């Protein structure tokens, strides 16, 4: 169904050349890229290229208050130094807010979202939203916007992690698509852009596994096709927590690109590649890529920095 409000969305989608496999790397500039990000970049790249697919880069920068100064630059410098080439122009989500707003308006016209004035404190200790504002029909301005969910199991078969299910009503309740401060939530932006960019496969860290049912649900109500998911085991630091920007994981050192690339390929359980310039190493990694060799589970054993 194409309404006036989603014409913009449909027009963009028509420009996408739909490949059999289309993957992406979608970092948020909330800190510099670290070794865990490199693992995601390598795996998403090799999986796409070994399936003759395209691989594109998208910068997920809608959460303005969390953007870390200079990290966008560091991401772009790393992509260059590691010789990763996006098959499409790199898009920045902060330039696409009108698209997400038009999707929200469309969902509102269909009665699928509503404004919510509840504060975090009112949610109670389990953080499951009870739908307090569902029938209040509050004006949308200056309020959070939540999407209605139902009592149904949403399940998917992850390529590495197997079956994963969630009942959004019991596990979460109606969830936020736009915050009261006007920030478009990651869940909405990621689903809309994966669709508009013709993405077919999502390869990312297992820390995002629990977000997937929300994204599948949003794609369903928006009439978008279901994607394939592959959630990678996470690189941990010596304290047994995942490498992350919040845990101040070391920024990737672009001067060490071949060495770091070699380590990331090994951490993914793949055959070693010869040290060379990154593009040559990536070519060899693609030729040798074997999903079945990726370590099982949600953590890579060993310590990383
Ligand atoms: N932007 C997210 C992050 O940097 C990744 C989103 C995704 O791959 O779906 O953690």
Higher per-residue confidence, 123 vs 262: 262
Cβ–ligand 1 distance for 208 under 6 Å, the answer: yes
- DSSP string computed for 55-83: EEEEE----GGGPPTTHHHHHHHHHHHTT
Q: How far is the CA of 28 from the centre of ligand 1 (A)?
A: 6
Longest dimension (CA), the chain: 63
Annotated binding site: 24-28, 60, 116, 118, 129, 133, 186, 204, 245
193 Cβ below 6 A of ligand 1: no
> Can you tell me the distance from the alpha carbon of 110 to that of 199, in angstroms, rounded to the nearest whole number?
25
Question: The tokens of 33 are what?
Answer: 């890229």
SS3 assignment, position 265: helix
Q: Is 71 in the pocket of ligand 1 (CB under 6 A)?
A: no
The mean pLDDT value of the chain amounts to: 92
The per-residue pLDDT for range 142-174, each reduced to its tens digit, is 999 999 999 999 999 999 999 999 999 999 999
Atom of ligand 1 nearest to the CA of 60: 1
DSSP, collapsed to helix, strand or coil, labels residue 84 as coil
What confidence tier does 2 reach under pLDDT thresholds 50, 70, 90?
Answer: very low
Instruction: Tell me if 29 CB under 6 Å of ligand 1.
Output: no
- In ligand 1, the atom with minimum distance to the C-alpha of 205 is 8
Of the candidates 29, 46, 36, 53, which has an alpha carbon nearest to the alpha carbon of residue 84? 46
Helices 7-14/186-196 angle, 10° precision: 50
Is the Cβ atom of 174 under 6 angstroms away from ligand 1?
Answer: no
Q: Quick one: CATH architecture of 6-303? A: 3-Layer(aba) Sandwich (3.40)
Mean pLDDT across 274-284: 98
Q: Which of 22, 24, 26 to mutate to test the pocket of ligand 1 (most atoms within 8 A of CB)?
A: 26
Number of the ligand 1 atom closest to the C-alpha atom of 207: 10
Atom of ligand 1 nearest to the CA of 28: 4
Report the atom number in ligand 1 closest to the C-alpha of 194.
9
Residue 229 structure tokens: 């998911």
| 288 in Cβ contact with 299 (< 8 Å) | no
What is the SS3 string spanning 230-258? EEECEEECCCCCECCCCCCCCCCCHHHHH
Query: Can you tell me the distance from the alpha carbon of 274 to that of 140, in angstroms, rounded to the nearest whole number?
Result: 56
C-alpha angle 153-230-68 in degrees, rounded to nearest 5:
100
The 10s digit of each residue's pLDDT in 55-108 is 999 999 999 999 999 999 999 999 999 999 999 999 999 999 999 999 999 999
**Smallest Cα–Cα separation from 130: which of 110, 111, 146?**
146
pLDDT in tens, 240-265: 788 887 777 899 999 999 999 999 99
The rounded Å distance from CA 26 to ligand 1 centre is 5
pTM of model > 0.85: yes
Is residue 1 pLDDT above 60, yes or no? no
Among 25-39, 48-62, 109-123, 241-255, whose mean pLDDT is lowest?
A: 241-255
Residue nearest atom 6 of ligand 1, based on CA coordinates: 26
């Amino acid at each position: 169904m194409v309404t006036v409000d989603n014409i913009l969305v449909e027009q963009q989608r028509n420009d996408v050349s739909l490949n059999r496999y289309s993957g992406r790397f979608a970092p948020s500039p909330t800190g510099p890229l670290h070794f865990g990000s490199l693992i995601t970049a390598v795996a998403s790249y090799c999986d796409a290229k070994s399936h003759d697919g395209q691989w594109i880069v998208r910068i997920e920068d809608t959460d303005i208050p969390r953007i870390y100064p200079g990290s966008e630059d560091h991401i772009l410098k790393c992509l260059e130094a590691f010789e990763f080439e996006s098959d499409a122009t790199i898009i920045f989500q902060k330039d696409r807010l009108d698209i997400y707003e038009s999707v929200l308006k469309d969902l509102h016209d269909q009665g699928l979202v509503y404004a919510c004035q509840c504060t975090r404190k009112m949610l109670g200790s389990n953080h499951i939203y009870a739908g307090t504002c569902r029938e209040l029909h509050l004006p949308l301005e200056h309020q959070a916007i939540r999407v209605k969910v139902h009592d149904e199991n949403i399940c998917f078969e992850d390529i590495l992690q197997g079956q994963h299910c969630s009942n959004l009503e019991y596990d979460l309740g109606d969830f936020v698509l736009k915050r009261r401060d006007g920030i478009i939530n990651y869940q909405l932006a990621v689903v809309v852009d994966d669709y508009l960019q013709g993405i077919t496969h999502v390869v990312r860290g297992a820390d995002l596994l629990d977000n997937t049912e929300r994204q599948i649900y949003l794609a369903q109500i928006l009439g978008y096709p279901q994607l394939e998911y592959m959630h990678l085991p996470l690189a941990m630091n010596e304290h047994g927590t995942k490498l992350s920007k919040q845990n101040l994981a070391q920024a990737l050192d672009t001067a060490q690109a071949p060495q770091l690339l070699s380590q990331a390929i090994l951490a993914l359980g793949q055959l070693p590649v010869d040290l060379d310039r990154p593009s040559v190493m990536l070519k060899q990694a693609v030729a040798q890529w074997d999903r079945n060799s990726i370590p099982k589970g949600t953590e890579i054993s060993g310590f990383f920095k």
